[in-house]
């Protein structure tokens, strides 16, 4: 940890280095969530009340660049919803409940019902 702190301090300052170390300990050693989780507005096709498809949701939330990549991430076990690993790319989530999406160890998004915009196609 001392080496990492020195590296951050070299390019920033000692305060930034200490803050980076605290954030690292909090997230990776204590398993807590980051403070800066995005809550994007997602535009999904479908009828109100219809569950949201995890693959489309990952793309719309900016956690995957395409449906193909989102499916691959699910199959590799890199996707979690509400801290539980997702292994089914056909999973559908309720649009009336909030969800915490996670891809890998560092990418998060909160999906709130009021941020889901539906367009019927």
Cα separation of the two ends of the chain = 52
- Domain boundaries in the chain? 1-32, 42-119
Low-confidence ranges of the chain (pLDDT < 70): 1-12, 24, 26-32, 45-49, 119-121
Assigned fold of 42-119: 3.10.290
- Residue 15 is predicted with a pLDDT of 79
- Helices 2-11/14-24 angle, 10° precision: 140
| pLDDT digit string, tens, across residues 68-94 | 999 999 999 999 999 999 999 999 998
- For residue 77, the number of C-alpha atoms closer than 13 Å in the C-beta half-sphere is 0
The predicted structure's pLDDT at residue 42: 83
pTM, to two decimals:
0.70
């Amino acid at each position: 940890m001392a080496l990492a702190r020195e590296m951050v301090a070299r390019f920033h300052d000692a305060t930034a280095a200490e803050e980076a170390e605290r954030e690292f300990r909090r997230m990776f050693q204590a398993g807590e969530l980051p403070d800066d989780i995005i809550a994007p507005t997602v535009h999904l096709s479908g009828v109100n009340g219809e569950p949201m498809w995890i693959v489309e949701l990952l793309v719309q939330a900016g956690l995957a660049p395409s449906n193909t990549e989102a499916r691959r991430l699910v199959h590799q076990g890199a996707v979690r919803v509400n801290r539980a690993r997702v292994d089914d790319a056909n999973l559908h989530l309720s649009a009336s409940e909030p969800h915490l999406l996670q891809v890998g160890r560092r990418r998060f998004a909160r999906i709130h019902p009021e941020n889901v915009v539906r367009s019927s196609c």
